[in-house]
Structure 1
């Protein structure tokens, strides 16, 4: 698993467990799946010192979220990220996609995850990830589940699975509880795993050190390890995000 530094967090997000409202900020915002999200502003930064463009994240007339990677001048490319203006604690996090994420270029990464604010912990801690990435290796599995520990020295734990979709619709979720994290992916848009792609549970004996306890915002990002090997832009559509306590 490639360790990356995610150095940007929306200028909001404070409060106790569960849901906490965030103060207003000047950054671009989107309304998607019944809540407000802050778009990562134009600039450069981790992971992998990507260039980020606000215009590469938008919601269409049908209410679907679009995340794009677009080509700039020369050999530069621009990525996209959004972060929820609410924090979420234990519960079920579900993402419904309308794109063939099994066909992403080997240098492209789509991340669906929660991520600690500074009061929760530093980078490489607490995070719970679903990522679609081959990490530069065309022969690698595409679907990645990863749990980052409370104590950074313990290192992440995860599993990977092959991904071959039967259409553009797929559902991916993680169920975060105090003693375990269960990950599931299914063909189609369903609230259960009736057409399973993968189902994996992380339930370590030392769960207090390895599984996050504090509420965190949700991030969705689309970024690059290097320029796409196929030299093409990318667009991923997320039709819905839901959180169930």
Structure 2
């Protein structure tokens, strides 16, 4: 019997429908085999602070499609891009729910970079990297507008000094800083104190508000023989905003670096890991005057007993470096009291140091 036109039309329609269904299923199967490109987002943006890193805030985000072993590298922009939260802690872990969270110093802008395992990030950048060569995805965000943060400034020895309140990784691990640990007394002497508050050790640091360049930097420091093994006093010049990883730094450091019977003082031309860049000595009890004479291609250090440098003063130690001496840029003088690996010294006690005078001679 000859099939009716309706029957033929129905069979053709059913065949076309089946063909479309199979095509959709195959397309879905093929698309499910194509992995989505990982991406990173910043969901909590810290405040903006154009003046540079003054304090810490939290930054949060998502890393969708991240593979095992991939991590986040954070940067904050303050003139240039600075790795966050610290140079020795460059990676932020991604949680099982794809979220990530860490602290950061403030800047005008923020960046989160998803990177492959084994990626070696730069600590400072003038521009952010492009995708590729270990960089999987990048997200940037402008800091939230807020009222500017006003730093504490004190006047000491005829100069204005900015008091640090942001954390620092000086000493090889994060240290917190409290502006209340810095003050001057009725004699005009500067006090720096390090103590524990609610289970957290807080340190003290000041830095000049302007650069001085070549010349003599003189520090008169009272007795530091009470320092425990983890206490460290740094008297140094440093360019905090240098756009590369070369430390433009000359140091007078008073510390035993965690070893009770170690020598307690040293002169350094950074980087310290080059043996010729360090001269260690034993600083005796009592008032000492430490001097750095910075010249082109030459850094001369000297420590004497007492508060005056003269022809009859007893020299404790002196050393001259002629290799690796930096040239002036935007460096400033710093004085900082901090803890070196305090977690390894459970018996550490509060420490206070008194600096009687700072003097600069061109």
Bin of the TM-score, shorter chain as denominator length? 0.7 to 0.9
Q: Aligned partners of 2:303, 2:326: CA distance in 1, in Å?
A: 21
Do residues 64 (structure 1) and 189 (structure 2) align? Answer: yes
User: Do structure 1's residue 105 and structure 2's residue 228 form an aligned pair?
Assistant: yes
Q: For the Cα contact (< 8 Å) 1:148–1:156, is it kept in 2?
A: no
Deviation for aligned residue 1:86: 1.3
More helix by share: 2
Quote the offset at 1:53 in angstroms.
Answer: 0.4
Q: CA deviation at 1:61?
A: 1.6
Q: Does 1:214 align with 2:328?
A: yes
**Larger relative CO (CA 8 A, sep 6+): 1 or 2?**
1
Computing the radius of gyration over CA atoms, which structure comes out larger, 1 or 2?
A: 2
**What residue number does 2:320 align with?**
201
> Match of 1:28?
152
CA distance in 2, matches of 1:68, 1:84: 18
* Residue in 2 that maps onto 1:117: 240
Structure 2 residues without counterparts, runs of 5 or longer: 1-85, 90-103, 108-147
User: Is contact 2:289-2:307 (8 Å) kept?
Assistant: yes
Which residue of structure 2 lines up, in the alignment, with residue 138 of structure 1?
Answer: 260
Partner of residue 178, structure 2: 53
Q: Secondary structure at the match of 1:55?
A: helix
Match of 1:128 among 221, 236, 250: 250
3-state SS of 2:225 partner? helix
Return 5+ residue gaps in structure 1 as ranges.
12-23, 205-209
1:122 Cα deviation after fit:
4.1
For this pair of structures, how many residues does the alignment match? 216
Matched, 1:38 2:153: no
For normalisation by structure 2, the TM-score amounts to: 0.55
Q: Deviations over 1:159-193 (max 9, x none)?
A: 1001222x2x1100111111211100011011247
User: 2: CA distance between counterparts of 1:108 and 1:153?
Assistant: 20
| 1:33-57 CA distance string (max 9 Å, x none) | 001000002x433222001101001
Q: TM-score, normalised by structure 1?
A: 0.79
Q: Identify which range, 222-231 or 54-63, moves more after superposition.
A: 222-231
CA distance change for structure 1 residues 153 and 73 in 2, over 3 Å: closer, same or farther?
A: closer
Contact 1:132 1:144 in 2 (8 A): yes
CA gap of 1:153–1:139, structure 2 versus 1, over 3 A, is closer
Distance across 2 between alignment mates of 1:65 and 1:153: 31
2:241 counterpart of 1:241: no
Partner of 1:147: 269
Q: How many Å separate the matches in 2 of 1:122 and 1:54?
A: 29
